[in-house]
């Protein structure tokens, strides 16, 4: 299967943006269907069985977020991408929880990003792996305010959710974000690309530990701001990490998204 075999449904009431999506996609996929309401979009789900659904969150009548579960039940094999110009933290979390495969901010999207979504959709269909395990973050155009960010986290779903959160920060700034699940992948990356401005580091990595990574950073990448992510950490360990140069420790609890947002604000992400 190639991208030219993919069928795409765009559920979007802003016709200028819908036509822009269509223009980007028309030479890459087999069929494109456009609906301006979530109710009418369900017709195409039944009749056309699209491979990818681009669903706007701000629709007349029923919002996109409110129909994700219905859409996924009606078309369980479709990749559902929720779109919006502005996302609230709670909306991103809720969208992923109820079945959205990806979330993107329409202000940041581009043709290159759509190509990544198409490629990941193909790999998902051929491999059977979940979309969130395959999708790569779309590297944005660099600007004077952009920063290099790395997520080193072996809990892949958490890593993906963190990625979505960083991708839709209220600041709307564009940053280059890379994800790794192994310490050796991260070390290989920094040897080639230098250290990131910000590192979100899982304390309980399977193939290494945070202290080894911090030792490496203190020797070679002292300008890197390191944020420790942990589900369980005691006070003595936290004090030790602070002495090793950790900028902040964020617990993986029910408030972690708000903690990340506050941390990103402090780091001017």
pLDDT of residue 50: 94
Range of the domain at 78: 3-133
Residues 260, 211, single domain; the answer is yes
Residues 119, 7, single domain; the answer is yes
Is residue 101, in this structure, part of any structural domain at all?
yes
Higher pLDDT, 142 or 253: 253
Residues 13, 125, single domain; the answer is yes
Asked if 208 and 183 touch (Cβ cutoff 8 Å), the reply is yes
pLDDT of residue 138: 47
Is residue 138, in this structure, part of any structural domain at all?
no
**Cα–Cα distance, 120 to 6 (Å, whole number):** 12
Neighbours of 198 (CB within 10 A): 22
Tens of pLDDT, residue by residue over 49-60, are: 899 999 999 888
Residues 123, 235, single domain; the answer is no
Residues 8, 128, single domain; the answer is yes
Residues 91, 168, single domain; the answer is no
* CATH at 192: 3.40.50.2300
Q: Which helix (H) or strand (E) element contains residue 230?
A: strand 225-230
Dihedral pair phi/psi, residue 245, rounded to 5°: 105, 10
On the question of pLDDT at 104 being above 90, the answer is: no
Residues 173, 91, single domain; the answer is no
The residue out of 71, 106, 133 marking a domain boundary is 133
Higher pLDDT, 32 or 1: 32
Residue among 124, 130, 137 at smallest CA distance from 3: 124
Residues 194, 260, single domain; the answer is yes
Residues 116, 158, single domain; the answer is no
The residue out of 133, 161, 193 marking a domain boundary is 133
Is residue 21, in this structure, part of any structural domain at all?
yes
**Cα–Cα distance, 269 to 263 (Å, whole number):** 9
Is residue 143, in this structure, part of any structural domain at all?
no
On the question of pLDDT at 12 being above 90, the answer is: yes
Is residue 139, in this structure, part of any structural domain at all?
no
Residues 12, 124, single domain; the answer is yes
Region 63-91: what's the mean pLDDT? 87
pLDDT of residue 2: 67
Question: Taking the alpha carbons of 129, 131, 133, 138 in that order, is the dihedral positive or negative?
Answer: positive
The residue out of 105, 133, 161 marking a domain boundary is 133
What is the average pLDDT score of the chain?
Answer: 85
Neighbours of 68 (CB within 10 A): 24
Residues 25, 120, single domain; the answer is yes
Asked if 245 and 217 touch (Cβ cutoff 8 Å), the reply is yes
pLDDT of residue 171: 62
Region 109-115: what's the mean pLDDT? 72
Tens of pLDDT, residue by residue over 13-38, are: 999 999 999 999 988 899 999 999 88
pLDDT of residue 140: 47
Residues 74, 125, single domain; the answer is yes
For residue 178, give the DSSP letter.
E
On the question of pLDDT at 63 being above 60, the answer is: yes
Q: Scanning the structure block, which residue is given the tokens 């940053």?
A: 175
Could you tell me the pLDDT band of residue 243, with boundaries at 50, 70 and 90? confident
Region 142-171: what's the mean pLDDT? 80
Give the count of domains, the chain.
2
Is residue 244, in this structure, part of any structural domain at all?
yes
On the question of pLDDT at 81 being above 90, the answer is: yes
Q: Scanning the structure block, which residue is given the tokens 């701000």?
A: 58
């Amino acid at each position: 299967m190639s991208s030219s075999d993919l069928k795409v449904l765009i559920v979007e009431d802003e016709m200028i943006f819908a036509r822009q999506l269509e223009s980007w996609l028309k030479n890459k996929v087999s069929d494109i269907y456009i609906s301006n309401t979530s109710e009418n979009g369900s017709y195409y789900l039944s009749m056309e069985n699209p491979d990818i659904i681009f669903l706007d969150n701000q629709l007349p009548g029923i919002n996109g977020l409110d129909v994700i579960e219905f859409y996924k039940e009606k078309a369980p094999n479709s990749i559902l991408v929720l779109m919006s110009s502005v996302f609230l933290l709670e909306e991103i979390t809720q969208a992923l929880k109820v079945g959205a495969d990806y979330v993107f901010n329409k202000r940041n999207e581009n043709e290159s990003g759509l190509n990544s979504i198409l490629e990941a959709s193909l790999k998902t269909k051929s491999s059977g792996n979940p979309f969130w395990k395959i999708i790569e973050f779309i590297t944005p155009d660099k600007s004077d305010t952009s920063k290099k960010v790395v997520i080193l986290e072996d809990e892949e779903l958490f890593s993906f959710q963190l990625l979505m959160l960083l991708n839709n920060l209220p600041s709307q700034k564009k940053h280059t974000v890379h994800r790794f699940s192994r310490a050796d992948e991260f070390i290989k990356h920094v040897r080639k690309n230098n250290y990131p401005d910000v590192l979100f580091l899982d304390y309980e990595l399977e193939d290494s530990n945070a202290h080894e990574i911090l030792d490496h950073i203190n020797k070679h990448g002292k300008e890197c701001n390191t944020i420790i992510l942990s589900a369980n950490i005691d006070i003595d360990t936290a004090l030790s990490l602070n002495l090793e140069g950790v900028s902040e420790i964020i617990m993986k609890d029910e408030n972690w998204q708000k903690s990340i947002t506050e941390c990103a604000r402090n780091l001017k992400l």
